[in-house]
Structure 1
Amino acid sequence: MKHLFVSLLFILVSACSSDKSVLLPEINGADITEITDVSPAYIFYDETQKDSVELNRSSLIISTNWLVNIDKRLTLKQALPSIIKLQEKKRGAGIHKNDAAKNFFTCNDTSIKNLGFIEFTDVVYNNESKPNTAEGRYAIEIFGLDSIAIHSVNHKIVNLKSDDLVDSLQQLASSSSAPKQFTLNFNDKISFQDYITIKSKLIKLEQDNLAIDKNEFIFN
């Protein structure tokens, strides 16, 4: 019943927006497939408009879990201002804030032919310069699904494909028992679909001495 509720919610909202739709990003094998106590926000792609972006957050309730539905055709540069605006609204809720309420990106999980979700509650997006790599810290630079580089003070892997990313990170983490911190750096021109593809792969990482920084850096 939980699956049915969330799926119907999306269909009904789409039906009410006759000239607008959201093509959800696709993932395979979501860790989260059931969420209750939700309210939705939509970031539409509109190719007839100059900025191609429209945010609809009229149905959001501060105390609930937020399902953020973003069109996969948008670039990060287009989608991020609206994502950050939603985060700031939730974080600045004051007395109405519910600390147990989370934010999730809504996706189309092809493995179950239903919706899946990726949490981004604690992610902090930075449009500043890319972080320095110190000992034990690695920067992952993503230009596209087939153009990824991992580098540190004295190590660099280039021309990496997204399908090999998890294995490469686990091999680096296994090279020694010392903890390793990875920071994500995304080119702002990649599509939201590609962003979600990378995020869905990183969720599957299983290594005790490996951590993905909650700060994500966006570069152009």
Structure 2
Amino acid sequence: MKINIIIMRKLSLVILVLLFISCKKEDVQLPKTNASVMTEILDHSPIYMFFRVEDNDTIAEVNAKNSISTTNWIFNIDKRLPLDLVIPEVKYLQKKKKQASHKNEAAINVFSYADSTKQNLAFLPFTEVQYKYDNNFSKFYIKEHADLYSAYNNLTINFNHENKITVDGNDISREELVDFIKDFSDFMSDGKITIIHLNFDKRLSFDHYIQDKILAWQLTSNTIQLSSYEFIYDLDKLPECGCKL
């Protein structure tokens, strides 16, 4: 009986998302990538962020009216939206959930996306992510807080407005990134934990953002961790450094 209830709840989740995505009036095009971080989540509330165009301006229309603070939140965000519209809304909802009078400390937040290889709905947790927005970049932040990071081997990964990748200012192809980071970490860490600091140009689409996040997730191991801080930057607002980001 218990197994049947769990199966029904899982099916209800998939059906709910698929119905909402296929509805003509409420269309959410989910990001696609080739790996599943999570495939199951129960006791959830859906949050939707729609892509709208009004008077030639792109708008993120948010529907969070069914969100319950004590549940896991699934963020279904249209892949066409740029990060400069998505992240402020995500930050607001994160804060709203944390400040709710009724909370469940075990509840998580996840982004939904489609695994194009396994042909299933998947989820990427981001509960612990804290966004540094607009005028922050990790290499400057690390320098300003050197006492917090001196015990680690720190690497800055930047996904620029063309979604090209640099590691500490050096160009790296997407295909080489995972092996490069793992080899570099083994060689340079000197026994320290390697912390990966992720930076994203805010002009990137949410689709690219999820693909980049999944790629970064593939770097993690017992000795390589992702920083809980993510930097969504405006290139025009960063301090002049005369260096390649």
Q: TM-score, normalised by structure 1?
A: 0.89
**Counterpart position of 1:41:** 47
Could you say what secondary structure the match of 2:181 adopts?
Answer: helix
CA RMSD of aligned residues (A): 1.9
Q: Distance in 2 between matches of 1:132 and 1:202?
A: 19
Which of the two has greater helix per residue?
2
Decide whether the 8 Å contact of 1:25 with 1:107 is kept in 2: yes
* Paired AA for residue 40 in structure 2: E
1:129-188 superposed Cα distances (whole Å, 9 cap, x missing partner): 21235652221111157511111xxxx522x22232222211121114322222111100
Shift of 1:87: 0.5
Q: Distance in 2 between matches of 1:112 and 1:179?
A: 32
Matches within 5 A, 1:128-167: 128-130=135-137, 131-133=141-143, 136-143=153-160, 147-151=164-168, 156-158=169-171, 160-167=172-179
The one of 46, 71, 78 equivalent to 2:78 is 71
Query: Between the two proteins, what is the percent identity of the paired residues?
Result: 31
The one of 31, 34, 46 equivalent to 1:25 is 31
The structure with more radius of gyration? 2
Q: Distance in 2 between matches of 1:137 and 1:206?
A: 14
Gaps of 5+ in 1: none
**Counterpart position of 1:7:** 14
Q: Distance in 1 between matches of 2:127 and 2:117?
A: 24
**Counterpart position of 1:194:** 208
Shift of 1:85: 1.3
Decide whether the 8 Å contact of 2:37 with 2:123 is kept in 1: yes
Could you say what secondary structure the match of 1:81 adopts?
Answer: helix
Could you say what secondary structure the match of 2:213 adopts?
Answer: helix
Could you say what secondary structure the match of 1:162 adopts?
Answer: coil
Paired positions, count = 213
**Counterpart position of 2:105:** 99
Shift of 1:205: 2.2
Q: Distance in 2 between matches of 1:55 and 1:38?
A: 17
1:81-107 superposed Cα distances (whole Å, 9 cap, x missing partner): 11111111111113x100111000000
Q: TM-score, normalised by structure 2?
A: 0.80
Gaps of 5+ in 2: 1-6, 235-245
Q: Distance in 2 between matches of 1:181 and 1:145?
A: 24
Decide whether the 8 Å contact of 1:146 with 1:162 is kept in 2: no
Q: Distance in 1 between matches of 2:216 and 2:136?
A: 23
Shift of 1:218: 1.2
Matches within 5 A, 1:178-189: 178-189=192-203
Q: Distance in 2 between matches of 1:62 and 1:207?
A: 31
Decide whether the 8 Å contact of 1:25 with 1:71 is kept in 2: yes
* 2:85 matches 1:81: no
Could you say what secondary structure the match of 1:201 adopts?
Answer: helix
Shift of 1:113: 1.4
Q: Distance in 2 between matches of 1:179 and 1:72?
A: 33
Q: Distance in 2 between matches of 1:120 and 1:29?
A: 16
**Counterpart position of 1:62:** 69
**Counterpart position of 1:108:** 114
* Paired AA for residue 96 in structure 2: K
**Counterpart position of 2:127:** 121
